[in-house]
């Protein structure tokens, strides 16, 4: 069920029907990351460099080799900060297009089923901001856990797998049912949703692919929700047959 949903989602990413959403997400994400790079660099120049320069003894001076070393360190620090921001920045931008992705998957793969309802604009914005905060928090927790021996990379997958799986599955389910029912459905299938989240976390860990991971996650969870919904419909039927 999970790997079938992942395979189907991966097939959607570069299909003609998804190219418009893909290019818009990539373009806006790269633009946002470029603006962030410039902003972080300016903050470092205005605040960090004068601070470190003030800590130096007077005989060291602030020219020559110091400027070179400071420039290299600044570049490394900004690059590291930007790397941590790739996932949340892409997530909040992709959040604008999640309904478009879900609608395309439903129309293309499940034409006989009733179409889902787009999440209201305000709720969609709240969901995008919520997911942005979840990703930021998840990466901070994972980063802290990386300092603990024996936890390391597993922390990234467990934290992000749980949080991302939860949010995207509930989004897919909310297109067909109220939020409280979507949450209850996710809780009933918590193990399946968590394992699917681990697959998405693995996708996020691949450079460049992480730029399109929210689109992949959305498409995958639309497929998974359909499969889980079908499985839940079959359970009462099986229970009835067993009781005969």
Q: Residue 146 — φ and ψ, nearest 5°?
A: -65, -20
Residue 130: how many CA atoms within 13 Å on its side-chain side?
Answer: 13
Distances (CA, A) of 106 to 21, 183, 224: 15, 20, 12
d(CA 179, CA 45): 46
Question: Can you give the pTM of this predicted structure?
Answer: 0.75
- What integer pLDDT is reported at residue 152 of this predicted model? 62
- What integer pLDDT is reported at residue 60 of this predicted model? 44
d(CA 220, CA 232): 18
- What integer pLDDT is reported at residue 182 of this predicted model? 92
Cβ atoms of residues 140 and 87 within 8 Å: no
- What integer pLDDT is reported at residue 173 of this predicted model? 93
Structure tokens at 155: 């922390």
- What integer pLDDT is reported at residue 233 of this predicted model? 86
d(CA 105, CA 18): 9
Cβ atoms of residues 220 and 9 within 8 Å: yes
d(CA 210, CA 164): 13
Kindly give the confidence (pLDDT) of every residue in the chain, 244 residues in length, as a single tens digit, with 9 standing for 90 and above.
888 999 888 888 888 878 888 888 888 878 887 887 787 777 766 665 555 555 444 444 445 555 556 566 666 766 666 666 676 677 777 777 888 889 999 988 999 888 888 877 676 677 667 667 766 776 676 667 666 666 667 777 887 788 888 888 988 999 999 889 999 999 999 999 999 999 988 887 777 777 788 889 889 999 999 999 999 888 765 544 454 4
């Amino acid at each position: 069920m999970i790997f079938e949903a992942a395979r189907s989602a991966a097939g959607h990413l570069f299909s003609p029907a998804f190219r418009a959403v893909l290019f818009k997400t990539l373009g806006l994400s790269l633009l946002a990351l470029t603006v962030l790079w410039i902003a972080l660099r300016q903050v470092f120049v205005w605040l960090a460099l004068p601070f470190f320069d003030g800590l130096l003894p007077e005989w060291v001076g602030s020219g020559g080799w110091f400027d070179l070393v400071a420039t290299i360190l600044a570049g490394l620090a900004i690059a590291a900060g930007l790397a941590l921001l790739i996932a949340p920045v892409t997530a909040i931008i992709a959040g604008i297009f999640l309904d478009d992705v879900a609608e395309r998957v439903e129309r293309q793969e499940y034409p006989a089923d009733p179409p889902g309802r787009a999440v209201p604009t305000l709720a969609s914005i709240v969901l995008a901001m919520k997911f942005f905060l979840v990703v930021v928090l998840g990466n901070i927790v994972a980063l802290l856990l990386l300092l603990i021996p024996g936890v390391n990379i597993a922390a990234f997958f467990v934290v992000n797998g749980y949080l991302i799986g939860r949010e995207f599955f509930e989004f897919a389910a909310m297109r067909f049912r109220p939020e409280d029912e979507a949450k209850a459905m996710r809780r009933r299938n918590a193990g399946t949703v968590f394992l699917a989240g681990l697959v998405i976390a693995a996708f996020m860990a691949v450079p460049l692919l992480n730029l399109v991971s929210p689109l992949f996650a959305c498409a995958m969870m639309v497929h998974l929700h359909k499969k889980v919904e079908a499985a839940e419909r079959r359970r009462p039927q099986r229970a009835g047959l067993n009781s005969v």
